[in-house]
Every structure is written in C-alpha cells, then in structure tokens.
Amino acid sequence: MPETTSSPPFDLDRIRRAVREILLAVGEDPDREGLLETPDRVARMYAEVFQGLHQDPRTHLKKLFTQRCDEMVLIRDIRMVSFCEHHLLPVIGHAHVAYIPNGKVVGLSKIPRVIDVLSKRPQLQERLTEQVADLLMKELDARGVAVVIEASHSCMTIRGVQKPDASFVTSAVRGGFKENLATRTEVMSLIFGARR
C-alpha cells in the first residue's frame, strides 16, 4: 500500500544549490541573465511535480456512497504526468481505471485525484499501475479493479533510443477482472475499442 514518506518538506535551498552545481558542471554560467533565476524556478517546479511524496492518496477514498451497483464503473482518459525515476524526465499519458463496486461507490473526481497523488513522485509506470490497482481494491473493498496506463516517456523520446512515436502500456487487474476472462475482455474493449 502506497504511503507518504517520512522525509521533511522540500528543501528548496538545497535544490537551488544542486541546480546551480549542475549548471556549472555542464559548462554554463549560472550568473548570466538567462540562468540567474533558473535554480529557483527548478526548485519550485520540483516542489510542484513531486508534491505527491508528501500526500496520502487514501485521503481521497475515505468518503464512499452506498449504492446498489454490481456492474463495472470506468473512468477513461485520465490525463497524468509523472517523472521517470531513472532520468527525472517527464512521463505523460492517460490512465484508464475500472472497478466493480461491492455496495459502495466513490465520487467521480476521487480516482483522478488518486492518480495525481501517486504520479507526482519519481515513478516507474509499472509500479504506478500496480499501486493504483492495489489501493483501489483495498480502500473501495471492490469486487474487481482494472488499471491501464498509456504513456510517452521523455527518457525514450528525446534521448537514448529517440523513438518519439512509441507509447508504453501497462495494466494491472485484480479480483473479478483477473478471474473472469469475459469481464477483462469487456473492460479492455471499452478502453481501446473506440480507437479502432
């Protein structure tokens, strides 16, 4: 189960000093006009894009509504932005999340909020997909959960192999989606069928 770290809030001064050192290390002049405020900008950006490190995604799943519903609930095309933990470069894509309620449903905005918290950390897409599925399965007491994430990784599109059209797809299925092939086929058809 994903939890917040016990580390203190962001040390902006330390980030500023580190960014200044990086600029010096690559042969730049951090005192020139265009770079003078860059360490501060980068520090504030890191505090924003990694804010999920200091947030608990479970807080968004505390309020559930009693609802007799035993059919699939799907939220498709949830935009997500994360940072690859290997290169600290952006990962941009969409998450698709389905669950089969067990007598309770969660508000429509809560699942995208969970995605935001978990993605705003240095991440691996594989781990993010598993974290979302496990968290929803437990906190919603769902009969099944399916999570599919499709993303473009800057570490693969702008450097290294440089394949800008490649997308990375991961999935995690739990409960009824794992045990029942027809249910799994239905959710994948609902997620991807409209594109064919």
Q: Are residues 179 and 149 in the same domain?
A: yes
Residue 84 is a catalytic residue:
yes
The 10s digit of each residue's pLDDT in 73-117 is 999 999 999 999 999 999 999 999 999 999 999 999 999 999 999
Check if 54 is active-site: no
In-domain check, residue 1: no
Q: Tell me the CATH number at 161.
A: 3.30.1130.10
Q: What is the mean pLDDT of the chain?
A: 94
Q: With contact defined as beta carbons under 8 Å apart, do 90 and 82 qualify? A: yes
Q: Which residues are documented as binding site for Zn(2+)? A: 84, 87, 155
Claim to verify: residue 175 and residue 91 sit in the same structural domain: yes
Q: Known catalytic residue: 153?
A: yes
* Cα separation, 76 vs 187, whole angstroms: 10
Residue 36's domain spans which residues? 12-49
- Quick one: 99 and 189 in the same domain? yes
Q: Assess if residue 142 is contained within a domain.
A: yes
Global pTM value:
0.91
- Residue 193 sits at φ, ψ, to 5 deg, of -60, -35
Active site residue 3: no
Which of the residues 60, 96, 125, 139 is marked catalytic?
125
| Of 37, 67, 86, 126, catalytic | 86
How far is the C-alpha of 90 from the C-alpha of 127, rounded, in Å? 16
